Every structure is written in structure tokens, then in C-alpha cells.
Amino acid sequence: MTQTLINLPVFEPNDYFWKNHWDGKEEKWLAYARAIRSIIAEVGGYELSDVKMEDKFEYKNFMRGKVK
């Protein structure tokens, strides 16, 4: 097994971030989380998915035979 560790710089939102990446409609922490998620996906080569965590649990339980 091989693992690659990528150290990213600390990301602290500043005035530029809020002006250019926040629409003012969502809570600030959601905008910050969305930005961090995008950065991690881009750097790590991951594909973003909009599947909700609850749906993942439901699928997992279905596959384990706990839900019909």
C-alpha cells in the first residue's frame, strides 16, 4: 500500500475570499466548507459528489440487509 501526503497551506478566509466566494445568502461556515472541499478535491484528484450523508447510510444499511 502506498500513501501520498500533500501538505496544504493554512487557509484563513479574508476580505477577498468573502467578496469573491460568498454570495451572502448562505452561512459563512458553509461557504468556507465549500471552498475547502473544492480545494481538497482538486489537489487530491477527487471527484465531487452531491450525495447526502444520510443517503450513504441508507444505502449501506440496504446492502447489509438491514433495510428492505
Residue-wise over 30-45: b if at least 16 C-beta within 10 A, else e?
Answer: ebbeeeeeeeeeeeee
Q: Among candidates 40, 18, 42, which has minimal Cα distance to 29?
A: 18
Name the amino acid, one letter, at 7: N
Question: Which residues have C-beta within 8 Å of that of residue 46, sequence separation ≥ 6?
Answer: 40
User: pLDDT tens across 32-64, in order?
Assistant: 999 999 999 999 999 998 888 888 888 888 888
The answer to whether residue 68 scores a pLDDT higher than 70 is: no
Alpha-carbon distance of 13 to 28, in angstroms, equals 10
The answer to whether residue 25 scores a pLDDT higher than 90 is: yes
Name the amino acid, one letter, at 12: E
